[in-house]
Structure 1
Amino acid sequence: MTKDSLEAPPPAPDRDVELPWCTPKPATEDVRAPELVRRIMASPSYREGDRDVDFLDRDDMRGVRLMLDYQKAETLLQAHGIAHAIVVFGATRIPEPARAAEAVAERAAALAAAPQDGALARALAVARRVADKSRYYEVARAFGRIVGAQEGQHGNRLVVVTGGGPGMMEAANRGSHEAGARSVGLNITLPHEQYPNPYLTPDLCFRFHYFALRKLHFLKRARALVVFPGGYGTMDELFETLTLIQTRKILPVPVVLVGAAFWRRAFDVDFLVEEGVIDPEDRELFWYAEEAGEIWQGIQAWYKRAGREITCTAPEVLRDR
């Protein structure tokens, strides 16, 4: 290398002379060329792989989609310093008390207009039962405020995480929002659009394609699972978590079932023990609570008995990292 080359300035960002491929072959050289080039560039094969949604939707690209479904949320959660989660689940069909009371009034009026209609009578009975459980909306909301108030005390690392939908999950996010804290929503793409509830932190609301990756993110940072009355989706998350704790696939975390009257009827753990399909010790993987303060105090007491901290310097829940 010569002395002159060592002292030569770096190339300018833009060239003075365009390279040959910067303009398409002109029609003056071949009248068919512009149309041929247009057809080539319009072909799906010409799209860059990461911009080709149709290609990414192919069955044989499922592995790539799984990776993206995991990595996007993981990267952004890390970037925002979200280390630990209090995961809250519960029915999307249980609204705040005022709305539940409105539904009862609407169905009562409909039945009054058609008193012989059995379907309306059943609908009114269900609405009344939902209204009775709507008190848990306020419990979840109060619990969200309690956890939200902890965020600053734990280095802004402990947040409420829900499925992002309405009902009990909305209530927990709402309480956290009212406390001025961040909270996370892990939504899922469904055939019928699921809108996020309005109380989530905008930069911390994610939408997943795969339930499996969403489940992973629920538990990856989980320091407790708080479960309000709910249906299939709620029970899915509850029983999966209990199974992972039972098998020690994850380190145990507190599991709190809110609303003993509901859960003792929906889930008869004593029957399972008596039938020999679970062990007596598996009955101790969770406990019941009724009020927000009671839930939080129970979680704190659990960690004290376990000799562990509710927050730590690194996630310690999933064993298969």
Structure 2
Amino acid sequence: MPRPDPSGKPLPAHETQRQIELPECAPKPGAEDRDAPALVRRIMAAPNYVIADEDTDFLNRDEMRSTRLQLDYQKAETLLQENGIAHSIVVFGGTRIGEPRHTEAQVAALEAAQAQAPEDRDIARRLAVTRRLHDKSRYYEIARAFGRIVGAAEGCHGNRLVVVTGGGPGVMEAANRGAHEAGARTVGLNITLPHEQFPNPYVTPELCFRFRYFALRKLHFLLRARALVVFPGGFGTLDELFETLTLIQTRKIRPVPVILVGERYWRRAFDADFLVEEGVIEPEDRDLFWYAESAQEIWDDIRAWYDKAGRPLTGPPGPMQEP
């Protein structure tokens, strides 16, 4: 028994312990009902007895989608804030665009296979595609160099400006890799897919997130974005590009620089001049993006854009808000 307070008034209760446990802290004993212990174990083993936030089967039900959407947003938002991530340069590009030495080896292997089977049309097709991918492998090195530039500049901005990618291979790996090589933190926003996937190894571990929903992942790409740098890529790359251009066109977000790397590729993949001629977009919409060819040109263009806009690249802390 605790000693009484000299004033005669009761002492504060212990935060977790009791002197005498409550009746519900012990199951009904078998001495009172021999079936009671087994019945209690059955109740406690039932799926519905699991506390709600630990019940993954319940959280995965269709009617819990709104809760999952909130969690998908809030986990990344909370941890990005805790890590002081205020501003980002978002880099997108093809996952199939690899390092030059790797694509060169793939070309050599297919050339050897073709020499053994010169009539095989499938090998010939794969070789032609792989040669084109090898030609585009220069973009891996450009993205890597750009990541190093941003990573080196991060220290000048109070460790607040980071490279953000989808966290996958190819161009995204290259951008994360360059920032990593510069000793900077770098963010990867992975997405859960039906098949297994892995983040690239150059994302900062505490800044790699995996999303359930594409919509929430896209939101986090743009909340802190100070520029979008888009390298040659496929459907996913085009999706992020067009979504960003639409949001800027409609002023749902404040305009940011949108730079397409590799004019030759992009003019064929996306003919904006044709859209202007057809009257489906305005000339000012065509001017929402431009082309660049080197890492330094990309960085210089971003800085020049902010100078012309009269806005600081890093600005005050906090995510970019809708106007």
TM bracket, shorter-chain basis:
over 0.9
Give 2:64's match in structure 1, choosing from 61, 81, 85.
61
Give 1:263's match in structure 2, choosing from 255, 266, 270.
266
In structure 2, C-alpha distance between the alignment counterparts of 1:120 and 1:318, rounded to whole Å: 50
Q: In the TM superposition, what is the alpha-carbon distance from 1:4 to its structure 2 partner? A: 4.3
Aligned to 2:86: 83
* Alignment CA distance shift 1:188-1:5 (3 Å): farther
The residue type paired with residue 68 of structure 2 is R
Q: In the TM superposition, what is the alpha-carbon distance from 1:193 to its structure 2 partner? A: 1.4
Q: In the TM superposition, what is the alpha-carbon distance from 1:9 to its structure 2 partner? A: 4.8
Whether the aligned pair in 1 keeps the contact of 2:93 and 2:233 (CA below 8 Å) is yes
1:314 equivalent to 2:317? Answer yes
Gaps of 5+ in 2: none
**1:68-107 to 2 correspondences below 5 Å:** 68-107=71-110
Deviates most, 2-11 or 105-114: 2-11
* Alignment CA distance shift 1:15-1:315 (3 Å): closer
* Alignment CA distance shift 1:11-1:314 (3 Å): closer
In structure 2, C-alpha distance between the alignment counterparts of 1:5 and 1:249, rounded to whole Å: 66
Aligned to 2:14: 11
1:88 counterpart SS class = strand
In structure 2, C-alpha distance between the alignment counterparts of 1:74 and 1:308, rounded to whole Å: 24
1:151 equivalent to 2:154? Answer yes
Aligned to 2:291: 288
Aligned to 2:248: 245
* Alignment CA distance shift 1:116-1:12 (3 Å): closer
In structure 2, C-alpha distance between the alignment counterparts of 1:315 and 1:252, rounded to whole Å: 16
Deviations 1:107-127, CA, capped at 9 Å, x for gaps: 111111110011110100000
The residue type paired with residue 271 of structure 1 is F
In structure 1, C-alpha distance between the alignment counterparts of 2:91 and 2:106, rounded to whole Å: 25
Whether the aligned pair in 1 keeps the contact of 2:87 and 2:319 (CA below 8 Å) is no
Moved over 4 A (4+): 2-5
Deviations 1:6-52, CA, capped at 9 Å, x for gaps: 46354374223222111111111111111111111011111100000
In structure 1, C-alpha distance between the alignment counterparts of 2:318 and 2:246, rounded to whole Å: 20
In structure 2, C-alpha distance between the alignment counterparts of 1:75 and 1:52, rounded to whole Å: 22
Whether the aligned pair in 1 keeps the contact of 2:92 and 2:172 (CA below 8 Å) is yes
Deviations 1:139-175, CA, capped at 9 Å, x for gaps: 0000000000111111110000000000000000000
1:21 equivalent to 2:42? Answer no
In structure 2, C-alpha distance between the alignment counterparts of 1:108 and 1:267, rounded to whole Å: 31
Q: In the TM superposition, what is the alpha-carbon distance from 1:5 to its structure 2 partner? A: 5.3
Give 2:225's match in structure 1, choosing from 201, 210, 222.
222
1:48 equivalent to 2:51? Answer yes
Q: Could you tell me the TM-score, scaled by structure 2's length?
A: 0.96
Give 1:109's match in structure 2, choosing from 100, 112, 127.
112
In structure 2, C-alpha distance between the alignment counterparts of 1:312 and 1:20, rounded to whole Å: 59
Aligned to 2:212: 209
In structure 2, C-alpha distance between the alignment counterparts of 1:36 and 1:25, rounded to whole Å: 10
* Alignment CA distance shift 1:203-1:246 (3 Å): same
Q: Could you tell me the TM-score, scaled by structure 1's length?
A: 0.97
Whether the aligned pair in 1 keeps the contact of 2:189 and 2:208 (CA below 8 Å) is yes
Deviations 1:261-301, CA, capped at 9 Å, x for gaps: 10000001111111111011111000100100000000000
* Alignment CA distance shift 1:11-1:192 (3 Å): closer
* Alignment CA distance shift 1:316-1:62 (3 Å): closer
Aligned length: 319
In structure 1, C-alpha distance between the alignment counterparts of 2:18 and 2:293, rounded to whole Å: 71
2:287 counterpart SS class = helix
